[in-house]
Amino acid sequence: MSPTVFESRPLAFGLAAEVVTRLEEAHLEEPFSALDPRRTVRRVEAVLVNVGVASTVFRGGLDLIGAEVDHVWVAIDGQVVDASFPLFSEDFVDALRRFVAGDATAELLASAAAATSLSDRVLGLFPAPLRYLGQPVWSARGR
C-alpha cells in the first residue's frame, strides 16, 4: 500500500465550526503538545468522537522540505487535523527543522509551540510546500 499524500484544504464548512470550537476549548484547558503527538492525537480523537465525527489516525512523514519528521495525525474525510504542530508559525517550523537535525533541544521545540495558538495548527489547511504522507495505523485500517 503506497502512502496517502494529503492535500491542504479547509474542513467542510458545517464541520469546521463545531470541531474548531471544541479543539480550542481543549487547547485552552491544556495546550496540545508538540513533544507528545500520540497523546495529542488521542485528545483530538476524543473531541471528534464527542461531536460525532469519524476519523482515522495516520502515521507517516511530515515533509518539511529539507527535513522529514516521523509523525502521527488525524484525518477527517482526507483532511489533516494536526493539533501537535503549529505549522503556521515560522518560528516553530524553524525549531522543528533544527530539532530533527539534532541542532535544537526538546525544550526549545516546546517553547516555540507554547508561543502559538490553535489557529497556528493544521485544521485542514497547511502551509505549502510542506506535505503530509502517511498510512492509516493498524487500529484504523479496514474501518
pLDDT at residue 141 greater than cutoff 70: no
pLDDT score recorded for residue 16:
87
Q: 0.85 exceeded by the pTM?
A: yes
Buried/exposed 9-31: b ≥16 CB within 10 Å, e otherwise = eebeeebeebbbebbeebbeeeb
Q: Helices then strands (H, E): number in the chain? A: 4, 6
Confidence label for 15 from pLDDT (cuts 50, 70 and 90): confident
pLDDT at residue 140 greater than cutoff 80: no
pLDDT tens per residue across span 50-67: 999 999 999 999 999 989
Report which of 112, 98, 106, 123 is spatially closest to residue 35, judged by C-alpha positions: 106
What is the pLDDT of the chain when averaged over all its residues?
A: 94
Domain spans, the chain? 4-131
- DSSP-derived pairing of the beta strands 131-136 and 56-63: antiparallel
pLDDT at residue 143 greater than cutoff 60: no
Mean pLDDT of 66-89: 96
Q: Are 134 and 4 in contact (CB under 8 A)?
A: yes
For residues 63 and 69, give the distance between their C-alpha atoms in angstroms, rounded to a whole number: 7
Beta bridge partners of 76: 79
Q: Are 52 and 71 in contact (CB under 8 A)?
A: no
Q: 3-state class of 115 per DSSP?
A: coil
Q: Are 54 and 24 in contact (CB under 8 A)?
A: no
